[in-house]
Chain A
Amino acid sequence: GAVVSQHPSRVICKSGTSVKIECRSLDFQATTMFWYRQFPKQSLMLMATSNEGSKATYEQGVEKDKFLINHASLTLSTLTVTSAHPEDSSFYICSARELWGAADTQYFGPGTRLTVL
């Protein structure tokens, strides 16, 4: 199956700093990638849809100036959490849309656990 990598897997930072998370599709090109946030024992919450070469589409209630998304190539999307605060601590997981076959499936990265002190 299609492989998506995510880096870093875990990050601890001080309040006020910015953190960049990378999402890469390793063996396919992804014109669309998605960023999710997941709190403990809860489901995935879609934050934004990232389209290569265009601005990301953010879900209602997600601050676009807080969570900067860049999809500069067909295999890479980045999420930058700017001026992170403890309430931003969460599990962030990306997915990439793989078009081959009937399923048109989203394949997920392994996730990034962010802890803001």
Chain B
Amino acid sequence: AQKITQTQPGMFVQEKEAVTLDCTYDTSDPSYGLFWYKQPSSGEMIFLIYQGSYDQQNATEGRYSLNFQKARKSANLVISASQLGDSAMYFCAMRENSGGSNYKLTFGKGTLLTVNP
């Protein structure tokens, strides 16, 4: 079974509107971390936001927020007030903290976001 599932291969949003990118995960480890990265066409991976499994509140970083629903095992990324520069591939990733994981990240297949003017 896939550990990280991103069901939206592509998403379109109008400039200045909000958009939600979906991510569900699968783990039996009680301690884990969830990450979102942005990859523009240049190829660099840009860290956006982090949510720990024990965090009580949803993470926020500027226009990015993470809608963490632990019981549903979902960690959706919400981008508010979309900008043209937000057009990129977005990857959800998970790090399981159990011994032996060596802090590896498991990535989803990504969602290509296109912001229309």
- Footprint of B on A, CB under 8 Å? 1, 32, 34, 42-44, 46, 49, 57, 91, 93, 95, 97, 102-111, 113
Contacts and interface: CB of A to CB of B under 8 A. Distances in A.
Interface of B: 33, 35, 37, 42-47, 50, 52, 91, 95, 102-105, 107-110
Contacts, number: 55
A91 B91 CA distance: 16
A43 B107 contact: yes
A49 B101 CA distance: 11
A43 B5 CA distance: 12
A107 B47 contact: yes
Nearest to B102: A49
5 nearest CB pairs, A to B: A108-B45, A103-B50, A111-B43, A110-B44, A43-B107
B85 to A, nearest CB: 17
Contact of A97 (B35, B103, B107, B109): B103
B107 A44 contact: yes
B43 A43 contact: no
Given A57-B102, A93-B43, A108-B46, 15 more contacts: A34-B105, A44-B45, A44-B107, A46-B104, A46-B105, A91-B43, A95-B105, A102-B50, A103-B50, A103-B52, A104-B95, A106-B35, A107-B47, A108-B37, A113-B43
